[in-house]
Homo-oligomer: A and B are copies of this chain.
Amino acid sequence: MSNYVEMWKELGMDLETHDALCQVLPTAFGDMYLSQENRPEGMGFWDFVVSEIHGIRPSELIEAQKNGQKVFGTFCVYVPDEVVLAANGIVTGLCGGSQFWVPGGEKVLPKSTCPLIKASVGARLERTCPFFRIADMYVGETTCDGKKKAWEILGQDVPMHIMDMPQMKRPQDIEKWADEIKIFAKVVEDFTGNAITPEKLSEGIHVINERRKALKRVYDARKSKNIPISGKDALLMMQIAFFDDPVRCAEMANKLADELEQRNKDNVSVFPAGTKRILVTGTPMAIPNWKLHHLIETSGAAVVCEETCTGTRYFENLVDETKTTLEEQYAAIADRYMGINCACFTPNSGRVDDILRLAKEYDVDGVIDVNLKFCCLYDTEGYTVEKAMKDAGIPVLGIETDYTDEDAEQLRTRIEAFVEMLG
């Protein structure tokens, strides 16, 4: 990635520290990804993106900014990309998936904050993430205590808009979310200088729906008895979807889906017959957090579905495209997003329903419920999830982990025992 040094310098990044990250990432990726056998050819695109992760997309974003577009950095699948697109804005994910950034976050946040939040804040404050340097505005939400309070610290450093999530899902809460979306739309209009019209919003909705459909095609292909793609590869596609141009993302996912569907016809599998099928549920896995998937897939099992924000929650359910007024469109967007079953809601019984449904659809042998350390929401909800799995006779393993490697061998022992028990 060395030909991007000038760009990083201009972004005001801490080059020396960032260099340490650039040195370890290719090795980690090589060990975990490139060592896999018989990968789909379609993964070549994402391999390339990873090889230039802090270079290629950032340089596109900078180019777009030069042409007058604004870049919005977001942290959560509840922030509606449609609205940003409608004002000719661009949405990008932000760094947060590596232990590399955690100590920087711990300088201002309690140690007992989840690693995702600590890494995000650290990546910004330590100036080692180009996306965090590029974005013109940051859009936070009140989905959890840790993020909600972290925005106050981040907000001293960058312009932030916060969307207030309702914490329940009654009809009035969905209306409230529609109101929040309207407020956000106004902020986006003012910030970009572009008016959002029903036509523009319609286009935005369509683009994001097409991305959803494409990602879902890849996931649907994973329901096959053979396993056409590793969980790790599918996870990589999802992780990069948060950063990529949505039209290209859909195009690449559709191309991959074509290949996977052909593999299913040809009964091609990347795992030996009889490999146990695992559904992973729980907290999100931001790039380059591949730890759990790698452990599972080198312990005799395969991940065939992720019920996470970097999984089905990102693409399930479409926004109704038949609405023609802004008012109706915002309501339709609110409806779709409030269908996401995040543990931030009380109650969140829809998530258990989702897991049970997905376990059947993906024909899984067991469920691994993973919690990023100090995520109070998913940790507490784990009690309900694991109880529901036991009641349904689905083997379940609850795991808590962070971004360090310290617990890797202990986790491997537990995962191996779990997979063996499935046999």
Chain A residues close to B by CB (< 8 Å): 108-110, 112-113, 142, 144-146, 148-153, 155, 162, 164-168, 170, 172-173, 176, 179, 343-344, 346-348, 373-374, 376-377, 379-384
Contact = CB atoms under 8 A, between A and B. Distances in A.
A170 B180 CA distance: 12
A148 B384 CA distance: 14
A348 to B, nearest CB: 8
A371 to B, nearest CB: 8
Given A142-B167, A179-B172, A346-B152, A379 B162 contact: no
Contacts of A152: 346-348, 380-381, 384
Contacts of A344: 145
B383 A146 contact: no
Nearest to A381: B149
Contacts of A346: 142, 148-149, 151-152, 162
Contacts of A170: 164
Given A110-B382, A112-B112, A152-B347, 18 more contacts: A109-B380, A109-B383, A112-B373, A112-B374, A112-B376, A113-B380, A142-B168, A142-B346, A144-B145, A145-B376, A146-B380, A149-B343, A149-B346, A151-B346, A153-B383, A164-B173, A176-B176, A374-B376
A348 B109 CA distance: 16
Contacts of A155: 347
Nearest to A179: B172
Most buried by B among A152, A172, A173: A152
> Which 3 residue pairs across A and B have the least CB separation, nearest first?
A149-B380, A142-B167, A110-B379
Contacts of A383: 108-109, 153
Contacts of A373: 112
Contacts of A173: 164
Contacts of A142: 167-168, 346
26 contacts: A109-B383, A110-B379, A110-B380, A112-B112, A112-B373, A112-B374, A112-B376, A112-B379, A113-B376, A142-B346, A145-B145, A145-B344, A146-B380, A148-B167, A148-B346, A149-B377, A149-B380, A149-B381, A151-B346, A152-B346, A153-B380, A155-B347, A164-B173, A165-B167, A374-B376, A376-B376
A147 to B, nearest CB: 9
B164 A166 contact: yes
Contacts of A110: 376, 379-380, 382
